[in-house]
Amino acid sequence: MARVFSGIQPTGQPHLGNLLGAIRHWVTDQDEHDCLYCIVDLHSLTVPYEVAELRDATLELATALLASGIDPDRAILFVQSQVREHSELAWILNCVATMGELGRMTQFKSKSSGRDSISVGLFDYPVLQAADVLLYQGERVPVGDDQRQHLELMRDLALRFNTRYGETFAVPEASIPKAGARIMDLQQTDAKMSKTGGTELGTIWLLDPPGRLKKKIMSAVTDSGSDVRAAPDKPGVTALLEIHSIVTATPLPVLEDRYAGAGYGTFKRDVLDALVAYLEPIQARYAELAADPAEVGRALGRGADRARSLAVPTMERVRDVIGLLPAPAA
Ligand code: TYM
């Protein structure tokens, strides 16, 4: 059993990229590993946000994760800011990370470009992310492809800390799926589906009703040909094939054979049906859970208590090896 840790930001409901790139693997990992899943609300403070919406967005995301199959009795589901040790360890790791390595992060470059005021938090974002995982001795981190560089930095920080102060942290490995690690925007086929930067029509949300799914899938960008096959010169068709393949658990070549000569119309209608069938049970469960937000809040409270009981011993060890006095008993 490996210790698994992953996180997601509460900036709106999950999209299909989050679901296929990360969350569905979190669900299967619960059966085999010792898992912690974290709603990283402190990370969402790094760019301008609506204060009035953050609390609701956090609860809605927790509801969406439960609806997607995260089981709070098997995995620890919790909110980052409810376990204060994340911030404490982030500060200590700030004194191990360098300006140079943080300045090379491509997500920082893209998220900061075009902004006139960039928070120190945005620059420091990957250090807090490293603290999230190292705090729990995380070994395996299931994420989409866009987190690759942050995971490399996390490993570097763990190794540097261990070398400087003595073995303290497990050195985590990224677990990036072969299929679905980069689900593309259906309108901008050279950009990943994203919560903030994508097109409205090209982004599929977990709670999109069938009518909206139909509009999005039927208007998805393809190309002027009619061949249903995955190829670099057919990014739109490839993206739809990949979605179809994952949600129906059908190998891609089988789908290519099935739709040979069928044309885009038939293919898109089948993608739509498959997607509706995949999302409908999640949406039905969401509606049930959303009727009792207090219960979701209680599940998060229990998750935070369990997470904290794992975080505290790591922090005791960290304080000891770096020369701080022990923390007074809480
Ligand atoms: P976030 O909230 O942007 O995304 C959550 C997860 O979804 C994956 N993902 C995608 N996968 C496939 N295709 C896409 N288009 C797509 N878009 C997003 C992301 O790779 C991610 O796995 N920094 C992280 C949150 C975080 C974290 C952590 C993750 C904070 N601390 C510790 C792992 C470990 C983020 O912003 O994810």
Say if ligand 1 is within 6 A of residue 306 CB.
Answer: no
Choose the residue to mutate in 147, 157, 195 for probing ligand 1, maximizing ligand atoms within 8 Å of C-beta.
147
- The rounded Å distance from CA 292 to ligand 1 centre is 27
**How confident is the prediction along the chain (330 residues), in pLDDT tens digits per residue?**
999 999 999 988 999 999 999 999 999 999 999 999 999 999 999 999 999 999 999 999 999 999 999 999 999 999 999 999 999 999 999 999 999 999 999 999 999 998 989 999 999 999 999 999 999 999 999 999 999 999 999 999 999 999 999 999 999 999 999 999 999 999 999 999 998 888 999 999 999 999 999 999 999 999 888 899 999 999 999 999 999 999 999 999 999 999 999 999 999 999 999 999 999 999 999 999 999 999 999 999 999 999 999 999 999 999 999 999 999 887
**Residue 268 among the catalytic residues:** no
Q: Which residues pair with 175 in a beta bridge?
A: 142
- The residue whose CA is least distant from atom 22 of ligand 1 is 143
Say if ligand 1 is within 6 A of residue 185 CB.
Answer: no
* Tokens 């992953």 found at: 6
Separation in Å, CA 164 to CA 124, 130, 155: 21, 17, 14
Q: pTM of the prediction?
A: 0.97
Say if ligand 1 is within 6 A of residue 22 CB.
Answer: yes
Which of 6, 4, 21, 24 is closest to 64 using CA atoms?
Answer: 24
d(CA 14, CA 204): 9
Q: Which residues pair with 77 in a beta bridge?
A: 37
* Tokens 């299909």 found at: 16
